[in-house]
Amino acid sequence: MNQKSGVLITGASRGIGRACALLLAGHGFHIFLNSAHHIEALEEVRREILSIPGGSCELCPGDVGNPDQVRKIFATIASSEHTDGGLDILINNAGISHIGLLSDMTDEEWSRLIATNLSSAFYCCREAIPHMVSKKSGKILNVSSMWGRSGASCEAAYSASKAGIQGLTQALAKELAPSNIQVNAIAFGVIDTDMNRMLDAEERRALAEEIPAGYFASPEEAARMIWNTLNAPAYMTGQIIGFDGGFL
């Protein structure tokens, strides 16, 4: 079996994760597809990848906010015949939102959001790093949000989780730069995903008017930004790159 560069994409069943999986598969990467709950959608992404000439992937379902499940995911990756025992690229994309007053948020809602959005990146990085360090190469790309930079009213927990992603990115980049591992994050603006489709038509129009570019970016545009960042010179690390249509 020919080995390929291996990429784990968390939250790959839809939105940015799905678009990113299809784009990287088209460029010859072996994709490890992760989702905690949307397994049927993940299976559909797998079918789409396998329809690409030379496309290859494996399903790695599991809750990346749970460290035990992350260990199982990485055991699957380590035993894959398609790679050399580990990842070349980790894309921490899993995320959920919560809209509401902070004073109304329950302990359980807070814990679930932080586990999904922030702890998941820590757990996956912790498992991916030893293999990357042994090879003296690797890339970690964390999906963040413009609200991690400026904060959003009624999204305090979400904003806090994304600010945490950005701090993790900058600190880990310094830790791993001597091992030739680049760690960057993209602070996305409004992307036309399920997370934003809860808005009604009037709310969408009002939000689009606030964006200087005048529209919501597509998941495919977001995926191309991830691809461009992964292909940047190795000297670019520890960066929080804005992709928000000029919003901030």
The predicted structure's pLDDT at residue 235: 98
DSSP one-letter string for 129-140:
HHHHHHHT-EEE
Residue 190 lies in a domain: yes
Residue 1 lies in a domain: no
Percentage of residues of the chain with pLDDT beyond 70: 99
Q: What is the mean pLDDT of residues 179-199?
A: 90
Residue 93 lies in a domain: yes
Q: What is the mean pLDDT of residues 22-48?
A: 96
Burial class from Cβ neighbours inside 10 Å (0-12, 13-18, 19+) for residue 186 reads buried
Phi and psi at residue 82, in whole multiples of 5°?
-85, -15
Residue 36 lies in a domain: yes
The predicted structure's pLDDT at residue 193: 86
Predicted model pTM: 0.95
* Average pLDDT value for the chain: 95
Angle among Cα 181, 128, 148 to the nearest 5 degrees reads 75
The Cα 43–Cα 35 span in angstroms is 10
Q: What is the mean pLDDT of residues 4-18?
A: 95
Q: What is the mean pLDDT of residues 15-42?
A: 96
Q: What is the mean pLDDT of residues 76-99?
A: 94
Residue 134 lies in a domain: yes
Comparing 62 with 199, which gets the higher pLDDT? Answer: 62
Residue 248 lies in a domain: no
Please list the active-site residues.
Answer: 158
Residue 181 lies in a domain: yes
Percentage of residues of the chain with pLDDT beyond 90: 90
The predicted structure's pLDDT at residue 3: 65
pLDDT tens, 120-139? 999 999 999 999 999 999 99
Strand partners, 29: none
Q: Give the domain extent around 42.
A: 6-242
Q: The CATH number of the domain where 84 resides is what? A: 3.40.50.720
The predicted structure's pLDDT at residue 1: 40
Residue 196 lies in a domain: yes
Name the domain count of the chain: 1
| Helices 15-26, 39-50: inter-axial angle, 10-degree rounding | 20
Q: What is the mean pLDDT of residues 237-245?
A: 98
